[in-house]
A = this chain, B = another copy of it.
């Protein structure tokens, strides 16, 4: 009997395999989770793996694989794990690319981890002081300052007020041994009896318009002690950002109300994480908040009215430092909150955090970062030059304006394939629950699968001439994904012609933004070395489906990297390093903002990008191949 050995090197796992079994079978044995929506039938094309070594031991590439993989990918060793079967004895080394990993698609608050040299704003020092004598009476503060000066630090910003009121007692309580917290090497933020140097924590928060993610870090070690997230409690005041701006603009009280609910939510998240981690919130000495410009204005209590009026100016571009207690954040009373700079009215502190995390501005390879949301921020460039824009991509990717759209909650159809032979769909839902609707990644997947299988054409029109029970006309043409008997909502769940158009509008906004940036920089898609997809949707969406619908330039899939909540990652980096903060200010100065509305070619680009994947198929060679094969 033939015996092969499969090595999943990244997981440090090895498994024996017998002839006729697939790589997917091998993976299941050692709990390497590979995404496979269709259950291993070769239809969904999600279980992509790269065979690094021992390719000849596997069976030939199947017809199903040639439908899902481009020539370049096949040449690079890509296979579908369910289709690649062991044929000959030997060892094979298999790489599971990020897009095929299940875990990658599950973590909402996680994000790319970019190494930083730890140099937090607040550091603690243990000092042993000498007592004052009657012959040489010194004030307590002066004794403390002299001890710090001897260490080479120059405290030119004085002592925080609360620290000052506690100083004398702390010194005696600690019997002249005290721990001082020092901000930016120039200001005393706390004086505590004894040695509390181990207790130095910080809070990083990504305030998304939909979701708030908080991270508690140990500033001494740079370690994440806990994370928590919650829906943005501003949602009841306006599902979309513009509604919230309009609510907040009505009065100062409304602005403070929207600020208040967000801060209360962060305080709750902080409380929960702190309790789990067993730390006191008063030991949290620093905070970093990021968000898009509207979130930025609202959590700072700034009326966002003028952000929504041409020429859409933010109140402030440069980074902001405020006292935590000024905005009601219940960390140490002397703590500061740092907010990275904005680039422009619709490219905010979160985009700067994205760029920090992906290191676009400081790396040699040309990269594009796409943080997909209701507004999608795109940054393109490298260490030489970086430009950015914001696209009004709308709520479709979050399930909004979609007939049976919903958030990525249990029961949401998130992965779809369509069998080209009989046009029967297969899908996977969040939590493997019975279907309740379709989330953003599901609708993109569906549109891509419908295009590949010929249910729709490149104009996005459903081919109602096809004889199939799934294809029908109710008010308008639609394709039924789930019959009412199979689901939990007591009605059929379909993708409607209107839904497809919403996706076309959304993806056209992003693609035309990316194209205009490429033209500004004078580069072609093939020159882009790295594509970073950020945001919850960017984490869930199938990258191949995204490229099939023409959401972003057609680059080899291995260049695409999911960076999850990159804004949260950038916030954590800024929390851990003053250099990152300085860098953020430089980045925001350097990034050139491109106002799409002011670009003369925008309208034409947008119209051309409405087709699937694009009016000019030459721009999507890989996709052209896939469609050609299918249709």
Interface set of A (CB-CB < 8 Å, partner B): 132-135, 137-142, 158-159, 161, 164-165, 167-169, 172, 255, 300-303, 305-306, 310-318, 320-323, 326-327, 342, 344-345, 593, 595, 597-598
Contacts and interface: CB of A to CB of B under 8 A. Distances in A.
Given A303-B169, A306-B172, A313-B132, A320 B139 contact: no
Task: In the A-B complex, list the 6 residue pairs whose CB atoms are closest, starting with the nearest.
Answer: A141-B316, A139-B317, A134-B311, A168-B315, A139-B314, A137-B311
Given A303-B165, A321-B158, A345 B137 contact: yes
A595 B134 contact: yes
Contacts of A133: 311
Contact of A168 (B132, B303, B311): B303
Contacts of A327: 161
B595 A142 contact: no
A349 to B, nearest CB: 12
A137 B315 contact: no
A320 B164 contact: yes
B598 A300 contact: no
Contact of A310 (B134, B311, B342): B134
Contact of A139 (B158, B316, B597, B598): B316
B597 A164 contact: no
Contacts of A598: 134-135
Number of copies of this chain that the complex holds? 2
A56 to B, nearest CB: 59
B169 A316 contact: no
Contacts of A172: 306
24 contacts: A132-B311, A135-B595, A137-B312, A137-B344, A137-B593, A137-B595, A138-B313, A139-B314, A139-B316, A139-B342, A141-B315, A141-B316, A141-B318, A142-B316, A142-B317, A158-B318, A158-B321, A161-B323, A161-B327, A164-B322, A165-B255, A165-B303, A167-B315, A168-B303
Nearest to A169: B303
Nearest to A325: B326
A528 to B, nearest CB: 27
Given A165-B303, A169-B303, A302-B164, A313 B140 contact: yes
Contact of A140 (B141, B314, B326, B597): B314
Nearest to A326: B161
A58 to B, nearest CB: 56
Given A137-B313, A316-B142, A165 B301 contact: yes
Given A134-B595, A138-B317, A140-B313, 18 more contacts: A132-B311, A132-B313, A133-B311, A134-B598, A137-B311, A137-B345, A139-B315, A139-B316, A139-B317, A139-B318, A140-B306, A158-B318, A159-B316, A164-B315, A165-B255, A165-B300, A168-B302, A169-B303
A167 B134 contact: no
A161 B301 CA distance: 9
A168 B134 CA distance: 56
A595 B135 CA distance: 8
Contacts of A312: 137
A449 B593 CA distance: 87
A457 to B, nearest CB: 38
Contacts of A255: 165
Contacts of A132: 311, 313
B164 A300 contact: yes
A469 to B, nearest CB: 52
